Chain A
Amino acid sequence: MNRMPRLHELTAKEVTESIRSGELTAREYISAIIERIREVEDRIDSFVTVMEDEALKRAGDIDYKVRKGDRLGRLCGVAVAVKDNICTKGIRTTCSSRMLENFIPPYNATVVEKLLSEDAIIIGKTNMDEFAMGSTTETSYFGPTKNPWDLTRVPGGSSGGSAASVSSGEATVALGSDTGGSIRCPASYCSIVGLKPTYGLVSRYGLIAYANSLEQIGPMARNTYDCALLLSVIGGYDPKDSTSAKVEPKDYTSSLNGPIDGLRIGVPEEFFGEGTDERVAREVWRAIHKLEDLGAVCEEVSLPSLEFALAAYYIIAMSEASSNLARFDGVRYGYRVEDDGSDWSTVYSKNRRFGFGPEVRRRIILGTYALSAGYYDQYYLKALRIRTLIRRDFEKSLREFDILAGPTMPIPPFKLGEKIHDPLELYMCDILTVPANLAGYPAISIPCGFIDGLPVGLQLIGGPFTEDLLLRAAYTFEGAKGLTSIRPPI
């Protein structure tokens, strides 16, 4: 039964170690990744852009560094898939939107600079819900990504391409972004590890904004160690992002092995409400009991304000989106209709009609409504007050507990096309992930089991800048459960 892992299945840790020791060349590895992409990509559609030539060239550069005996970066030779809302210099960055179909950024996002400075190899730009607005990757202008565990089902979203590429071995690790669950949801649905950092830990410079007070770029990987490694590279203060926190970069891999004896875990009862599938609840409780067996102390807790989290989240996110996306006018960049001599206002409205898909337009219109005179207090301001209540509930419970645990998603991955025509039903899928974004707290999703072959994710939420604790709990759980070696049947 013990077969040798194929090259594309290596972890980031194994890749960097093998390249350092000379057992493997970056070129061999990247060639194997490209081979894997050719093998499965037409069935999964993880990528908007595959960067074959660039990746092979960079691999050659890294091999040259190895031969010269130069210092090698922490991600040397690792194939990183980057979500297509993160700017890559000279490589088109589309947000999976017709609006930016031909947009080629003249600069790199800070996280991309950091990847490159550690000798990572960007293998491609991944598919996503248009402007990160969705939980299934179905709102992409380029068509949906499929779940590697069942090609008829959604991979989750909005970072669905990043999750699917990592899950199926088309990339070693990936970057996603998480505004209301967009890293954790697809991580859960594709059975990988995905972490939304504390707001401000990772620079957002070069991330195309959707809802700027909520979103964070974060790491996605097949195991916790790789996730910690990638976070160590991308974290830390950036003067180019005025909302980045003044924290020093940290090596999260060094604290993974600590004990979790006596770790106090709170289990919010609201996470097991009516909308949570019983089978999901059962798998997640099993995982929580596993953590107890490993030394954690678990108790139920209540965060009553979570009842209002989903509505407050969508009001805030849409309001911010309506303002952020006003910049897309089709003048400096973006989709522009043929000029028929119409006035500015008409052209602007047409550019946005044809450039944006229906979900993006719906959210801009709702956000505009929530911010308009007469409704501002009723919707936007009220939602911001609820955000304070949610923060207070988190603060209170995290004085009693070190971390909170529950499901990432209330239901298992569903069929493509099943919910896309009912926006409200789709929004409901985010009910367990949005609270962490409203509070600005870190949260991780880790594989915890399967229902009829479909992945279930365990979500752990911690206080501000406790990523090391979340990762340690995840690492300990992963070691005991041994799920990461199970890969999708593709």
Chain B
Amino acid sequence: MIEARLPGTRNLHNNHLRQDIINRSGKSHAYPNWCARTVQVKDEKVMGKPYISRREVEHIAWLAHIELTEEEKELFTKQLNEILEYFRKIDEAETEGVPPTYHVLDLVNVYREDEVEESLPKGDALKNAPKKERGFFKAPKII
């Protein structure tokens, strides 16, 4: 194998450099700030201009069909604001003209032959249903 060197990288075979690197590890000055301690949320900011309001949390929870208690609405609003504040980190990334990667494999559509295969017996399919009636799943009232 050929030893390659990237611009800006150092050769670690140099023993005095090794020590230097060990000493530097864990200290921040040479490295980008991107870890836990640097993203402490400033309370004033969240209080002043929330990313998501309590009403929005209620609305999104309704969209997701998840009932929340009053205390949870309060707690989630606070926690979601902290998390969203961190998420806004992505705004700093330069992504103009960069295509999105939805999936790492370049899959388009995967087809199989349209042949009838053995399927799950009805009894097995119904086995885990909390409520069933005459061979059907029993759903809550819809209309």
A residues whose Cβ falls under 8 Å from a Cβ of B: 102-104, 106-107, 199-200, 213, 239, 242-243, 245, 261-264, 266-267, 269-270, 272-278, 281-282, 285, 288-289, 292, 297-302, 304-308, 310-312, 314-315, 322, 326, 330-336, 339, 341-350, 352-353, 356, 358, 361-362, 364-366, 368-369, 372, 379, 381-389, 391, 397, 400-402, 410, 423-425, 427-428, 431, 439-440
Contact = CB atoms under 8 A, between A and B. Distances in A.
Interface in B51-68: 52, 56-57, 60-68
B93 A382 contact: yes
A391 B65 contact: no
B92 to A, nearest CB: 7
A397 B65 CA distance: 44
Given A384-B101, A385-B100, A388-B98, A264 B1 contact: yes
Contacts of A366: 80, 83-84
Given A243-B105, A274-B37, A388-B99, A302 B8 contact: yes
Contact of A333 (B6, B72, B104, B128): B128
A204 B121 CA distance: 23
7 contacts: A264-B1, A289-B12, A299-B10, A305-B93, A331-B130, A400-B4, A400-B6
Contact of B140 (A267, A322, A342, A384): A342
Given A336-B131, A431-B35, A274 B76 contact: no
Interface in B82-125: 82-84, 86-93, 95, 98-105, 107, 110, 112, 120, 124-125
A424 B90 contact: no
B46 to A, nearest CB: 12
Interface residues of B, number: 83
Nearest to B18: A289
Contacts of B35: 273-276, 410, 428, 431
B12 A311 contact: no
Contacts of A423: 79, 82-83
Contact of A385 (B27, B39, B95, B138): B95
Contact of A308 (B5, B57, B90): B90
B45 interface: no
B105 A245 contact: yes
Contacts, number: 270
A292 B13 contact: yes
B142 interface: yes
B36 interface: yes
A385 B12 contact: no
A388 B96 CA distance: 12
A272 B26 contact: yes
A185 to B, nearest CB: 15
Given A300-B21, A428-B35, A364 B128 contact: no
A199 B105 contact: yes
Contacts of B18: 285, 289
A299 B18 CA distance: 11
Nearest to B17: A300
Contact of A262 (B1, B76, B98): B1
A424 to B, nearest CB: 5
A361 B26 CA distance: 35
Contact of B105 (A274, A333, A401, A440): A440
Contacts of A364: 64, 66
A342 B66 contact: no
Contact of B79 (A213, A264, A362): A362
Given A299-B5, A300-B12, 6 more contacts: A106-B127, A281-B25, A282-B25, A310-B34, A334-B128, A361-B76
B140 A348 contact: yes
Contacts of B27: 274, 278
A39 to B, nearest CB: 34
Given A273-B32, A299-B5, A334-B130, A353 B67 contact: yes
Contact of B36 (A242, A266, A300, A425): A425
